[in-house]
Structure 1
Amino acid sequence: MSTPPPSTPKLFSRTTWREWKQVAEILRLETVGGMLLLAGAVVALVWANSPWSESYTAMREFTFGPEALHLNLDLSHWAADGLLAIFFFVVGLELKREFVAGELRDPRRAAVPVAAAVGGVVLPAAIYVVINLGDSSALSGWAIPTATDIAFAVAVLAVVGRFLPSALRMFLLTLAVVDDLIAITIIAVFYTDDLAVGPLLLALAPLAVFTLLVQRRVRSWWLLIPLGLLTWGLVHASGVHATVAGVLLGFAVPALRREGEAVGLAEHFEHRWRPVSAGVAVPIFALFAAGVAFGGWSGLVEALTDPVALGIVAGLVLGKAFGIFGTTYLMGRFTKAELDRDIAWVDVLGLSLLAGIGFTVSLLVGDLAFGTGGDRDELVKIAVLCGSLLAALLATVILRLRNRVYRRIHEEETRDEDRDGIPDVYQEPSPADGAPGRPESP
């Protein structure tokens, strides 16, 4: 009996029903979070450009906290260092789950989104550096245009691309997860100026106890939250950005299910904390971070002609788009993989442009690079807002061109003629490998 020829590898092939259900729930929460994030940013912009702008500045600069613990911070820093630690804790949980039980556990499936994420970081940084080569002080902002704000991107999708195929949505989410990992690594390595080794070593003690408890499946909030706060406080005192503590705590939580557990502990914590992150932490951060006075149309034009602003806008719009698209295309040529029959390269370009929405982490990196309250702080905010808006508009134009195709694919992916709760397409033979689909319980 002759051996059948090997099937051609596919890019953006459909995943399993169980994995898609998990992703759909994450995207639903991120959509709501993205809308709240947008609302926070709009309120900040209107307030900062209103006759009451002084009250906005006074609110941001209101300071409180114990000086002895290095926590006498203004509200904008409490939002960036404190609330965003919750956001990065969820990122850590998501990373752990993806690497252990999700898309990134299979090196073959992870290769394309990982490479695309790296390309989407390297090219924007390179563009920024080239534009600002003549100013050494400006080069510290090289990482500002490298981040993707998944909540903002998904919120845009909810308006203009709600029928986007599931494989493309999973690619965007997986890419954003890897992007977040790169971003937190950049923050920890390149934006730590004065390192105090003592507090950093002390932080290992509560982190170790936290790890031991979660490995034993302890879920008691009155034990875990104080340990998390102590770890966060010590990391903050060490000079390392406190959001790194959130990622480390998230990594410590086990992702695999034990016998008798419906979901892994990482997934359980993610369900509990993602609404807090998306619905509270990130929108409040946006309220404190996005307020910038444009100074009228002439002031906006003048700001955007500055090399720092040009580097950020070009990095977000051009660097992200061509970095992700180009790397994905090269990976397809290198592996001799073909696009899935429902996907076209223009879809990948639209998604790559959408990844140029770099709001939350870009503003955070800008604050770390140039400080709060300076001239370049205002430039960074204007550039991030304008670059993200331009990327969103270009992505909208491209994705809307294919909306009729997306509607057809959406109907196929949601059809459930036998009414068993599982769309029929997830129970049919996979066109990628010719093997029968394996129905999974809802």
Structure 2
Amino acid sequence: MNATSPPPSDRHARLFPFRASPREASRIGSILRKETVGGALLVGAVVVALIWANSPWAAGYEALRDIELGFAPWHLRLSLEAWAADGLLAVFFFLVGLELKREFVAGDLRRFGTAIIPIAAAAGGVAVPALIYTAIAAHDPALRGGWAIPTATDIAFAVAVLALIGSRLPSSLRIFLLTLAVVDDLIAVAIIAIFYTDSIHPVPLLAAVITIVGYGALAQLGRRFFAARPAAAWLILLPIGAVAWAFMHASGIHATIAGVLLGFTVPVLHRRRDRDRDGEDGPGLAERFEHRFRPLSAGIAVPLFAFFSAGVAIGGAKGFAAALGSPLTLGVMAALVIGKPVGIVVTTWLLTRLERVRLDPALRWVDIVGVGLLGGIGFTVALLVDDLSFASGSPENAHAKVAIFAASILSAILASIVLGSRNRRYRRAEDHEDGDAARGGSE
């Protein structure tokens, strides 16, 4: 029995993380490459915003951020900061809806056995940070609303870090990170919809639902038409989606929820009669839309949102020290740096025991710890929830942003240390196997 063989009692246990088919692995690899570029742009936008907001020209940044555009009678006279948070992020959440639907219809999450662990791990990675934040900061009533800030993972930033330090890590680990982040986004959407809606206006909400249903009906009936003609989606579906977004914005529910619901309506699979008649077995409409719109999300929408949201005036060394001394900052940082990995790893370990699932022999539990540390990188959705929790320009809003930045950097460093050492180990193992194969061939 070799070192990686399972004990006799575990021979028939299922493996975790679950290995995807070659086609699914190729699709996920393409997503990760795009998110890596998006992560680099995201970090660049944050750095520019922070430098500008803390420079002698900070007034120019604030003036740019506060420029208002739009049609006031339709309640769409918004600042550029609000357009970025409510409008551009709807593109990001549309991609979230597409990916979620695809995972639940045709991906690993369609089967209970493969879905239960990443779903539970994501839930643990949300619950434990919320509890840690509450224990540290919730004694102050003014800070209780920030409990959801440290619950979200920024997939673009996390994947960018993984790409830089994890070139030799097993693909199953990358797939686990992406699946975990997809479910994490679903939970974040639910939190925003449930806990950050003050009042609901039924007429605009009904209009939004009707428009979304119409969008979905067109996408379902014209799936071949929209798949074959990329411009048609921009000329027909995009205006309908914009109308649905405007109604959702007027309803009182955060407008980004419209993006998720629109993504849910896009068909994933081909119709049976189309497959039977044409032998069509290529990417469905949801996958095609994902391929077309992901560069828009990763390259424009998310970096612009980060640019307008991340520009907080720290106030020099004294201001930074004051922020670090705040219970809010300590709560967010502890929740992200400690709570995220603890919630993800402990929940995963418990589920593998309860579900009789065995860790993939190619991996070690320290690899899962590294993924848990990457989960502590919270940027996009964390910044959005911060802006929903605390008034823009308030000390609480600024302190939360400082905490998000500091915790994300610290989590990235810790993950790089853990996964970097593992990456070197995997590289040595591959080089050793390649050397053995070359010697065997020469003989």
Q: What's the TM-score, normalizing by structure 1?
A: 0.90
How is 1:26-175 mapped onto 2 (pairs within 5 angstroms)?
A: 26-175=31-180
Is 1:234 paired with 2:268?
Answer: no
Amino acid in structure 2 at the alignment position of 1:48: A
Amino acid in structure 1 at the alignment position of 2:184: D
Amino acid in structure 2 at the alignment position of 1:249: L
Cross-structure match for 1:433: none
How is 1:383-394 mapped onto 2 (pairs within 5 angstroms)?
A: 383-394=403-414
Task: Compute the displacement of 1:256 (Å).
Answer: 1.2
User: SS of the counterpart of 2:305?
Assistant: helix
Is 1:395 paired with 2:415?
Answer: yes
Q: Any conservation in 2 of the 1:164–1:410 contact (CA below 8 Å)?
A: no
- Change in Cα spacing, 1:149 to 1:17, as seen in structure 2 (3 Å) is same
Amino acid in structure 2 at the alignment position of 1:108: G
Match of 2:200 among 195, 198, 202: 195
Is 1:277 paired with 2:282?
Answer: no
Distance in 2 (CA, whole Å) between partners of 1:296 and 1:335 is 51
How is 1:357-372 mapped onto 2 (pairs within 5 angstroms)?
A: 357-372=377-392
Distance in 2 (CA, whole Å) between partners of 1:60 and 1:5 is 58
Cross-structure match for 2:287: 267
Structure 1 portions without partners, runs of 5+: 418-442
Task: Compute the displacement of 1:99 (Å).
Answer: 0.5
Task: Compute the displacement of 1:413 (Å).
Answer: 12
Cross-structure match for 1:348: 368
Amino acid in structure 2 at the alignment position of 1:256: L
- Sequence identity percentage: 54
Aligned residues: 413
Q: Which moved more, 1:132-141 or 1:169-178?
A: 132-141
How is 1:171-186 mapped onto 2 (pairs within 5 angstroms)?
A: 171-186=176-191
What value does the CA root-mean-square deviation take over the aligned residues?
A: 1.9
Distance in 2 (CA, whole Å) between partners of 1:408 and 1:263 is 37
Q: Which moved more, 1:144-153 or 1:208-217?
A: 208-217
Q: Any conservation in 1 of the 2:169–2:422 contact (CA below 8 Å)?
A: no
Is 1:292 paired with 2:346?
Answer: no
Task: Compute the displacement of 1:161 (Å).
Answer: 1.6
Q: Any conservation in 2 of the 1:165–1:410 contact (CA below 8 Å)?
A: no
Q: Which moved more, 1:160-169 or 1:85-94?
A: 160-169
Distance in 1 (CA, whole Å) between partners of 2:176 and 2:347 is 13
Match of 1:334 among 351, 354, 357: 354
Distance in 1 (CA, whole Å) between partners of 2:405 and 2:414 is 14
Q: Which moved more, 1:337-346 or 1:232-241?
A: 337-346
Deviations 1:111-166 (A, max 9, x none): 11111000000000011111123212211111000000000001111211222210
Q: Any conservation in 1 of the 2:167–2:423 contact (CA below 8 Å)?
A: no
Distance in 1 (CA, whole Å) between partners of 2:172 and 2:10 is 25
Amino acid in structure 2 at the alignment position of 1:335: E
- Change in Cα spacing, 1:50 to 1:208, as seen in structure 2 (3 Å) is same
Task: Compute the displacement of 1:324 (Å).
Answer: 0.2
- Change in Cα spacing, 1:410 to 1:244, as seen in structure 2 (3 Å) is farther
- Change in Cα spacing, 1:269 to 1:410, as seen in structure 2 (3 Å) is farther
Amino acid in structure 2 at the alignment position of 1:396: S
Distance in 1 (CA, whole Å) between partners of 2:105 and 2:18 is 21
Cross-structure match for 1:257: 270
Cross-structure match for 1:310: 330
- Change in Cα spacing, 1:305 to 1:76, as seen in structure 2 (3 Å) is same
Amino acid in structure 2 at the alignment position of 1:266: A
Distance in 1 (CA, whole Å) between partners of 2:371 and 2:391 is 32
Distance in 2 (CA, whole Å) between partners of 1:150 and 1:273 is 16
Is 1:377 paired with 2:397?
Answer: yes
Is 1:15 paired with 2:20?
Answer: yes
Q: What's the TM-score, normalizing by structure 2?
A: 0.90
Higher helix share: 2
User: SS of the counterpart of 2:169?
Assistant: coil
Distance in 2 (CA, whole Å) between partners of 1:354 and 1:122 is 17
Q: Any conservation in 2 of the 1:309–1:380 contact (CA below 8 Å)?
A: yes
Q: Any conservation in 2 of the 1:366–1:377 contact (CA below 8 Å)?
A: yes
Task: Compute the displacement of 1:8 (Å).
Answer: 2.0
Task: Compute the displacement of 1:414 (Å).
Answer: 11
Q: Any conservation in 1 of the 2:14–2:357 contact (CA below 8 Å)?
A: yes
User: SS of the counterpart of 1:142?
Assistant: helix
Task: Compute the displacement of 1:257 (Å).
Answer: 2.6
Q: Which moved more, 1:402-411 or 1:134-143?
A: 402-411
- Change in Cα spacing, 1:49 to 1:5, as seen in structure 2 (3 Å) is closer
Deviations 1:347-375 (A, max 9, x none): 11111001110100000000001121212
Distance in 2 (CA, whole Å) between partners of 1:22 and 1:386 is 32
Structure 2 portions without partners, runs of 5+: 1-8, 227-231, 438-443
- Change in Cα spacing, 1:412 to 1:292, as seen in structure 2 (3 Å) is farther
Q: Which moved more, 1:372-381 or 1:238-247?
A: 372-381
Distance in 2 (CA, whole Å) between partners of 1:304 and 1:98 is 39
How is 1:414-433 mapped onto 2 (pairs within 5 angstroms)?
A: none
Cross-structure match for 2:6: none
